[in-house]
Amino acid sequence: MRSPLPWLLAGILLLTADPARAVPPGGSFESFDRQARLGARLKVVFFGGPFTDGVGLVDIDKDSWRERFQQFLVARYPRAAFHFDLVSMGDTGSKRAMFHTRDLIDGMKPDLVFVDFLIEDGIQGENRDALAAYESILRDLAYAGVPIMQVFTGISAVQGKFWKPVLPQRLRDYLEFVTLYRTGVGESHHGLHQVLASRQYTMDDIWPHNAMYPAAIGHDLIFASLRDGFLEAVAQKRVGMYPYQPAFSWLYNSRQKINLAEFPLPDGWIRSPASLPLAVISGAPDGGDLVMWASGGEQTIRPLRLDFSGTLVAIYGEATSDSLEFKATIDGKTVSPPASPDKKTRSHWALPKPKADSEQTAFWIELTSRLSSGPHSLELTPVVDDSGRLGQLRIRSIFIAGE
């Protein structure tokens, strides 16, 4: 299907050119360069998922594109005092990240942000939900006047045995945002194709461990593309743009993170200190409480209920080795999880299992993004099986987007 984004882009650029529709300027790469040369204190934030984390690398501190770019900035600007932060969203992509962008801006006050969610958003996808979420991130940063570097690469999982020079649909769409928001960009897809076509490396050399995240060779290529993209943006004195009219992000203009511990709880639910942060910000937890329901005794199972307005709803919490499944209903109708690999449909949601019994792992589950605009009612009910085993359900926040 042909993407509608280029047509929308043309119309949006015309609207933005109208002086009557003035908008605040975005971030200036020239200003960042000038401040760095003068020895300013500058904060650089890497906002992404497992690829930004360095998943798949033997030595993250040595081989990741993130570490390489940090070294590049320090060498290029020896007088500057850089502070680098990682804000990791795991493998949840833009739909979760859009709820944290404003907190990132207000709490960190970044001078440059790298945005990396292409792989997690589905590199071959065409749905507008991810486009809206991704644009919401760019739009928040542009409004705050922060220069943006978009990070794009490819994965062997969708390319098959041989790398193809044709750009995947999602990458083509996200590249349109480079023009629309006047960001910097590191696009290593073409570089990967050239390296493979020259037979300098094979697919197995670049992706030796899994088909999603590359080894050091792949990180070298993305670093090189980011370095060149950054230098180009500086040389062009590029200033970001905040378009008066968004292409897709109007879908999620309204975004809420609802902390359940701040609300009255039904019988059987209690407040408990959270063990994991809402987002991994350089490894630092952010404290806070969650709500928990634990089985045992003769208590009646009462659902956790929330009235809201929006089109997308997701939940965030902590999973343990004894986590219970749960049932979700919206407006009295069961919301079922996607079909499992065995193609069986289930009415209950199961949580991920941590690697060890003593560990906890975060979960972010999108229940639906297809609701009609307007008011809705959500109920979450723990499911206790007939064996009577002890278990718990730990939920921290409900995420709502849309009107």
Domain at 370, CATH number = 2.60.120.260
Q: Identify which has the larger pLDDT, 280 or 174.
A: 174
**Which residue is it, tokens 């060890």?**
356
DSSP assignment of 126-194 equals --HHHHHHHHHHHHHHHHTT--EEEEE---HHHHTTS--SSPPHHHHHHHHHHHHHT-EEEE-HHHHHH
20 and 90 assigned to the same domain: yes
Between these two residues, 27 and 45, which has the higher pLDDT value?
45
**Chain CA centroid to CA 352, Å:** 19
Do 182 and 271 share a domain, yes or no? Answer: no
pLDDT tops 60 at residue 8: no
Same domain, 343 and 387: yes
Least trusted range by pLDDT, from 67-71, 219-223, 258-262, 384-388: 384-388
Same domain, 352 and 341: yes
Residue 246: give its domain's CATH number.
3.40.50.1110
43 plus 26 within the same structural domain: yes
Chain position carrying tokens 């959270």: 274
Segment 187-216 shows an average pLDDT of 81
Q: What is the mean pLDDT of residues 197-203?
A: 82
Distance CA 244, CA 21 (A): 6
Q: Is residue 324 predicted with pLDDT exceeding 50?
A: yes
Domain boundary among 216, 251, 286: 251
pLDDT tens digit string along 252-278?
989 999 988 888 889 888 888 888 776
Is the same domain home to 288 and 395? Answer: yes
- pLDDT of 218 reads 85
Does residue 1 sit in helix, strand or coil?
A: coil
Together in a domain, 389 and 376: yes
pLDDT of residue 35: 97
What's the DSSP call for residue 353?
A: P
Q: Which range among 3-7, 246-250, 353-357 shows the weakest confidence by mean pLDDT?
A: 3-7
* 143-152, 317-326, 357-366, 384-393: range with lowest mean pLDDT: 384-393
Angle at 383 between CA 382 and CA 387, to 5 degrees: 135
- Total tally of structural domains belonging to the chain: 2
Listed in sequence order, the residues at least 6 apart from 62 whose beta carbon sits closer than 8 Å to its beta carbon are: none
DSSP states of 68-92:
HHHHHHHHH-TT-EEEEEEEE-TT-
Same domain, 236 and 268: no
Residues of the domain holding 295: 254-401
Which two structure tokens, joined as six digits, stand for 251? 């879908």
Q: Tell me the longest C-alpha to C-alpha distance in the chain.
A: 70
Which residue among 195, 218, 251 closes a domain? Answer: 251
Q: What b/e sequence results for 273-298 when a residue is b if at least 16 CB atoms lie within 10 Å of its CB, and e otherwise?
A: ebebbbbbbeeeeeeeebbbbbbeee
The last residue of one of the domains, among 251, 273, 307, is 251
Same domain, 386 and 304: yes
pLDDT at residue 44 tops 90: yes
By three-state DSSP, how is residue 211 classified? coil
The Cα–Cα gap between 180 and 178 comes to: 6
385 versus 117: the higher-pLDDT residue is 117
Query: In terms of domains, do 133 and 231 share one?
Result: yes
Q: Are residues 189 and 279 in the same domain?
A: no
> How buried is 140 (Cβ within 10 angstroms: 0-12 exposed, 13-18 middle, 19+ buried)?
buried
296 residue type, one letter: G
- Residue 307 tokens, joined: 């009235």
pTM: 0.89
- pLDDT category at 246 given cuts 50, 70, 90 is confident
pLDDT value of residue 285? 43
Task: Flag whether pLDDT at 357 surpasses 50.
Answer: yes
Average pLDDT value for residue range 347-358: 81
pLDDT at residue 19, rounded to an integer: 39
How many Cα neighbours within 13 Å face the side chain of 33? 13
Please report the pLDDT score of residue 146 as a whole number.
96
Query: What does the pLDDT read at residue 368?
Result: 94
User: Above pLDDT 90, what percent of the chain?
Assistant: 44
- Express each pLDDT in 62-96 by its tens digit: 889 999 999 999 999 999 999 999 998 888 899 99
**Domain shared by 259 and 246, yes or no:** no
Q: How far is CA 380 from CA 306, 312, 367, 377, 387, in A?
A: 9, 16, 11, 10, 21
Give the tokens for residue 357: 């019994």
Query: Is there a contact between 86 and 280 (Cβ–Cβ < 8 Å)?
Result: yes
